[in-house]
């Protein structure tokens, strides 16, 4: 990261803080995230503490603030905060107000909360299999009065119990041969039924399962929908990813890179471009 980019991020966290305590916590979490020289000293001066942190964020152009609860020492929670608020602009993914957004791999709900802050009338379905994440996700939905629901399952290409490896909180993934922990997996069509035809926007951050899920969901989604997908281990899976999209009539635009992963926005070749 360049010095200019670093300073831009530093200024931004002060712009989005709605109060002095949030600004203090964001400074501590910032240094935890980016670990620049001197960060250890600054973390001692402004420690983030233990347990849960409640941040009140004021996003430019949002209808209402975001009340975000996260675990102060959880690397995944901190990464999700900065990836969705500082490193990318969630609002830029939408060219018009969505009516129905599905957040698959919702983690603690940062993406869902931002969408709800900009588009409070949008219905949001959050899908998340990690039990520890679900507890925080539910609190975040309640604190922000999100119009929507939470499905405590893993998104997959069939309805079945599957092995699940928790790992880092934002990196849990389906392990079909793993028997240490079992979670229920479901297809998107079984969760939504006929409502799958109403999906405007699907976010897929499902830690490698996107290659199994996309062939199932692409033919079923309306051609006017948009899909925001994280392609994991892109160097290994890029060819298969593009082949899956091509066969179903979808094409993609790469938005960001988080090596070894890439973020793509998919649209149907015959669909409207109103995302």
Does residue 78 carry a pLDDT above 90?
yes
Tokens of 50: 């233990």
- Give me the percent of the chain exceeding a pLDDT of 70: 91
- Give me the percent of the chain exceeding a pLDDT of 90: 79
Tokens of 217: 């969901």
Q: pLDDT tens, 218-247?
A: 999 999 999 999 999 999 999 999 999 999
Of 16 and 32, the structure prediction assigns the larger pLDDT to 16
What is the predicted pLDDT for the residue at 271? 61
Q: What is the mean pLDDT of the chain?
A: 91
What is the predicted pLDDT for the residue at 6? 85
CB 25 within 8 A of CB 48: yes
Mean pLDDT of the region 164-173:
88
Number of other CB atoms surrounding residue 264 within 10 Å: 22
Tokens of 60: 């430019």
User: What is the band of 45 on the pLDDT scale with cuts at 50, 70, 90?
Assistant: very low
Q: What's this model's pTM, rounded to 2 decimal places? A: 0.92
Give burial (CB, 10 Å; 0-12/13-18/19+) of 57.
buried
What is the predicted pLDDT for the residue at 46? 46
What is the predicted pLDDT for the residue at 49? 55
What is the predicted pLDDT for the residue at 38? 54
């Amino acid at each position: 990261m360049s010095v200019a980019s670093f300073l831009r991020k530093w200024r931004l966290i002060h712009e989005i803080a709605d109060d002095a305590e949030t600004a203090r916590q964001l400074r501590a979490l910032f240094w935890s995230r980016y670990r620049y020289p001197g960060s250890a000293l600054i973390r001692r001066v402004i420690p983030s503490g233990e347990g849960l942190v409640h941040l009140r964020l004021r996003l430019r152009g949002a209808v209402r603030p975001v009340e975000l609860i996260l675990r102060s020492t959880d690397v995944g929670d901190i990464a999700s905060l900065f990836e969705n608020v500082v490193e990318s602009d969630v609002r830029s993914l939408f060219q018009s107000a969505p009516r129905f957004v599905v957040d698959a791999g919702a983690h603690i709900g940062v993406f869902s909360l931002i969408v709800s802050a900009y588009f409070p009338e949008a219905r949001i379905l959050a899908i998340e299999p990690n039990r520890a994440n679900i507890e925080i996700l539910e609190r975040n939905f309640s604190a922000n009065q999100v119009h929507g629901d939470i499905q405590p399952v893993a998104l997959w290409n069939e309805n079945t119990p599957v092995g699940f490896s928790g790992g880092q909180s934002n990196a849990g993934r389906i392990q079909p041969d793993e028997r240490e922990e079992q979670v229920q997996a479901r297809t998107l069509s079984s969760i939504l039924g006929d409502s799958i035809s109403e999906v405007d926007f699907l976010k897929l951050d499902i830690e490698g399962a996107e290659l199994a899920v996309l062939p199932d969901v692409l033919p079923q989604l309306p051609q006017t929908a948009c899909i925001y997908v994280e392609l994991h281990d892109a160097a290994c899976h890029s060819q298969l990813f593009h082949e899956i999209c091509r066969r179903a009539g979808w094409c993609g635009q790469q938005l960001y890179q988080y090596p070894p992963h890439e973020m793509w926005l998919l649209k149907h070749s015959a669909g409207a471009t109103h995302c």
